[in-house]
Amino acid sequence: MNKKHTMKEKGDAELAKLLAETRATLRTERFAAAGARPKESNAPAKMRKTIARILTEQHARLSSVASAKEGTRKAATV
């Protein structure tokens, strides 16, 4: 899967697409595992960690943009 440092190199659209694809893959893995024994038992855990990395990066980007906007708002009022 993807490492944490590669998430910072991806754009917002790429992260959103990767998040949707990973969630869809995780969903299919869950249903496949319900019917039969999975080939790789730790694949869902890896996918959940990838999803968490993506969401963490998206949140970090949103909070940095919000703090930058707030900083300019405070500077304008002073």
> In sequence order, what DSSP letters do the residues of 3-71 get, joined into one string?
-HHHHTTS-HHHHHHHHHHHHHHHHHHHHHHHHS--SSTTHHHHHHHHHHHHHHHHHHHHHHHHHHHHH
Say whether pLDDT at 1 is over 70: no
Please state the pTM of the whole predicted model: 0.75
Q: Which domains does the chain have, with CATH numbers?
A: 4-77 (1.10.287)
Which stretch of 21-25, 39-43, 60-64 has the lowest confidence by average pLDDT?
39-43
Q: What is the predicted pLDDT for the residue at 7?
A: 84
**In percent, how much of the chain has pLDDT > 90?**
46
